[in-house]
Amino acid sequence: MNPVRIGIIGLGTVGAATVELLNTNANQISARIGRSVVVTHASVRDPSKPRDCDLSQIELVSDPATLVSHPDIDIIVELMGGTDLALKLCQQAIANGKHLVTANKALIAEHGNQLFAAAHQQGVAIGYEAGVAGGIPIIKAIREGLASNNITSVAGIINGTGNFILSEMRDKGRAFDDVLAEAQQLGYAEADPTFDVEGIDAAHKLAILASIAFGIPLNFKAVYTEGITKLTAEDVNNAEKLGYRIKHLGIAQRSEQGITLRVHPTLIPQSQLIANVHGVMNAVRVESDAVGESLYYGPGAGGGPTGSAVVADILDIARTIDADAQQRVPYLAFQPDQLNDLPLLEIGAIESAYYLRLQANDQPGVMAQITKILGDLAISIEAIEQTEPAPDDRHATIIMLTHRVTEQSMTKAIKQIEALPTINGAITMIRVEHFNTRQSS
């Protein structure tokens, strides 16, 4: 059979790793799919720049538009990042009948609906496994491995930068800004870390996971997003003392009322597996009716892991490149005409337990005022701890864990408590999740 010919847009860390993996494991790849896969062309900004891969058989060009219209390229691999130019190039590639592989989660989360519609019309495949959780094959696991299951919840640590920062804050008691600076030095965080620390990167990934889990169109704008920049070492330590760990989670849940999509710091019991994922590692927890709880763990970024996911998509497409398009796995797990516009609920509708930290005047009657507000809103307290103020300080720190209640009620309670003259400053609120676990015999 003729080789499958690849054109890569972008030869950075992931692009170079993709080329090297295809070269190093060429014999194994050919044995698996029954034909060879070769990179014939690549688009780079500077063709004279040294690359961490063998370029002897690759024609380098500086204009990526020449790749998407090249008659001798079967699959376009988009690894340039961004959404504007990448979207135009991918649209043109699809229009020209090219199959597409991308690691661009922002592109899929924000423009996937239109790209998939165009690809469906043209009968071409789109692979995007590398866009979520790097080397963890979570897209394939949910889309294919759990295809017979009714999935009710997906929750994950899907940004390694944020997880590294929180791990360092917990293990070494370091401040957020200090750890962020180290993450930038180590290359875990960009010079502008906004996408990572404010949860935007995780929100892109969560939108994708929710779509394939629940059969809904991609809707990045519906994801409630909260970052980790306001977390303090004090909160991380308090969580540890209470038997919890703080993780920056993306959570998608389905109920009878609808679907909630949210990214925010979360207290998780230390006994749960996902609470013990540290450093730059990723993990995704899926809850479904037949399997129950399953956890997928591994490196979420880096050239090797992400390149592995890119090559896996290339091989999937290469296996079926000559097959009827109707025989391929649907882009979003469900047939395009079977996607449902299920209700997407606002953050106020979720039900959660809560961690509260507040500063109050050290005087009689303060706790009675706080507990009355909570009681009037049917919010019960699971645990409470008060630290004595320093000799020169008139304010005591109060830590509370509540039982489950709607966020709307909790938000109302916090506003009322903050309005008390005995309360000093804003209240810190962090959601608490006790994921259901089902033991199998």
Residues 287 and 361 in one domain: no
Residues 407 and 269 in one domain: no
State whether residue 306 is helix, strand or coil: helix
Domain count, the chain: 3
CATH number (domain holding residue 424): 3.30.70.260
Q: Which of 271, 298, 325 is the last residue of a domain?
A: 298
Residues 156 and 278 in one domain: yes
247 is catalytic: no
**DSSP letter (8 states) at residue 72:** T
CATH number (domain holding residue 284): 3.30.360.10
In a domain, 437, yes or no: no
In a domain, 162, yes or no: yes
| pLDDT of amino acid 189 | 87
Q: Tens of pLDDT along 368-403?
A: 999 999 999 999 999 999 887 777 778 899 999 999
In a domain, 441, yes or no: no
User: Domain residues for 325?
Assistant: 4-135+303-338
| pLDDT of amino acid 417 | 97
* Residue 289 neighbours by CB distance under 10 Å: 12
**CB-based contacts of 292, cutoff 8 Å, min separation 6:** 437, 438, 440
Q: Which of 320, 338, 356 is the last residue of a domain?
A: 338
CA atoms within 13 A on the CB side of 104: 27
In a domain, 439, yes or no: no
| pLDDT of amino acid 441 | 36
pLDDT tens string, the chain, 441 residues long: the values are 899 999 999 999 999 999 999 999 999 999 999 999 999 999 999 888 889 899 999 999 999 999 999 999 999 999 998 999 999 999 999 999 999 999 999 999 999 999 999 999 999 999 999 999 999 999 999 999 999 999 999 999 999 999 999 999 999 999 999 999 999 998 888 889 999 999 999 999 999 999 999 999 999 999 999 999 999 999 999 999 999 999 999 999 999 999 999 999 999 999 999 999 999 999 999 999 999 999 999 999 999 999 999 999 999 999 999 888 888 999 999 999 999 989 999 999 999 999 999 999 988 899 999 999 999 999 999 999 988 777 777 889 999 999 999 999 999 999 999 999 999 999 999 999 998 765 443
In a domain, 193, yes or no: yes
Residues 203 and 170 in one domain: yes
In a domain, 128, yes or no: yes
Distance separating alpha carbons of residues 150 and 166, to the nearest angstrom: 32
| pLDDT of amino acid 376 | 97
In a domain, 106, yes or no: yes
> What's the distance, CA 185 to chain centroid?
23
Residues 155 and 294 in one domain: yes
| pLDDT of amino acid 400 | 97
Catalytic residue, chosen from 98, 105, 140, 205, is 205
Between strands 244-254 and 259-269, the pairing is antiparallel
Distance separating alpha carbons of residues 169 and 234, to the nearest angstrom: 9
Residues 269 and 359 in one domain: no
Residues 64 and 118 in one domain: yes
In a domain, 438, yes or no: no
Question: Contact, 135 vs 238, CB < 8 A?
Answer: no
CA angle 164–165–171, rounded 5-degree value: 85
Alpha helices in 215-265 (DSSP H): 233-241
Residues 261 and 294 in one domain: yes
| pLDDT of amino acid 437 | 60
Residues 310 and 283 in one domain: no
Residues 221 and 308 in one domain: no
Question: Contact, 139 vs 212, CB < 8 A?
Answer: yes
Residues 280 and 259 in one domain: yes
Residues 278 and 334 in one domain: no
Instruction: Return the sign of the alpha-carbon dihedral for residues 361, 370, 353, 227.
Output: negative
